[in-house]
């Protein structure tokens, strides 16, 4: 395993290779993706069961457009109670701060399919 780029550089959002590559290529900015929404990547890890953008295609509950505080509370409860079901285990995989980011990101997604933030 190689050394990761220096944390200090990463915090400034500057993995050296990536910056050089983007500048050298002079690539046009990516439409609509200039700032990655907080929680987007974390929440995408729910989609294997709860559907892309939290809209399930079958069975499991759709999880978008709900109250962020309710969802956060539920996730923390799952994380801390004795592990009975698969969500009790999955919730244990995240810090409370990550669970809050997930809940807040999903809460902002609209509930109607036609309002999907497709790009």
Partner 1 sequence: MNRRNFLQLAGLASASFALPRAVRAATAAPRVVVVGGGFAGATVAKYLRLWGGNIDVTLIDRNAEHYACILSNLVVTGQLAMSRIRLGYDSLRTGRGVKVVQAEVVEVNPAERCVVVQDATGFRAYPYERLVLAPGIEFTPAAGSYSAELTPHAWKAGPQTLLLKQQLSAMTSRGTFVMTIPKSPYRCPPGPYERACVVADYLKRKKPGAKVVVLDANTSIQAEPLTFDRAFKETYRGMLTYVTGAEVTGVVSAERRVLTTQGSFTGTVLNYIPNQRAGDIVTQAGLVNDPSGRWALVNPLTYASVVNPEIHILGDSQGTGQPKSGHMANSQAKVCADAIIRAFNGEGPDPAPTTSSACFSPITSTKASWLSASFQYDPGTAAMKRVDLGEAHEPTSDGFQQMYQWADNIFADSFV
Q: Which is nearer to partner 1, 36 or 112 (CB)?
A: 36
Is residue 74 a contact point for partner 1 (CB under 8 A)? no
User: CA 46 to CA 43: how far, in whole Å?
Assistant: 6
The residue to which tokens 């499991």 are assigned: 60
Q: Are 16 and 9 in contact (CB under 8 A)?
A: yes
Q: Are 75 and 95 in contact (CB under 8 A)?
A: no
Q: Which is nearer to partner 1, 112 or 118 (CB)?
A: 118
Stretch that binds partner 1, among 18-26, 70-78, 107-115 (CB under 8 A): 18-26
Count the residues of the shown chain that bind partner 1, applying the rule CB under 8 A.
Answer: 58
* Contact residues for 71 (Cβ-Cβ < 8 A; gap 6+): 63, 102, 103, 106, 107
Q: Which residues of this protein are in contact with partner 1, per CB under 8 A?
A: 1-5, 7, 9-15, 17-19, 21-34, 36, 40-42, 44-45, 47-52, 56-60, 83-84, 86, 89-90, 92-94, 98, 118-119
């Amino acid at each position: 395993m190689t050394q990761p780029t220096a944390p200090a550089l990463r915090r400034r959002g500057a993995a050296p290779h990536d910056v050089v590559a983007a500048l050298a290529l002079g690539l046009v900015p990516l439409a609509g993706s200039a700032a990655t929404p907080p929680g987007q990547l974390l929440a995408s890890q729910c989609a294997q069961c709860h559907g892309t953008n939290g809209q399930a295609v079958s069975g499991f509950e759709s999880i978008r457009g709900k109250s962020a505080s309710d969802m956060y509370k539920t996730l923390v409860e799952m994380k801390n109670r004795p592990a009975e079901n698969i969500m009790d285990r999955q919730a244990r995989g995240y810090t409370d701060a990550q669970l809050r980011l997930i809940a807040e990101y999903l809460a902002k997604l609209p509930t109607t399919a036609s309002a999907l933030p497709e790009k």
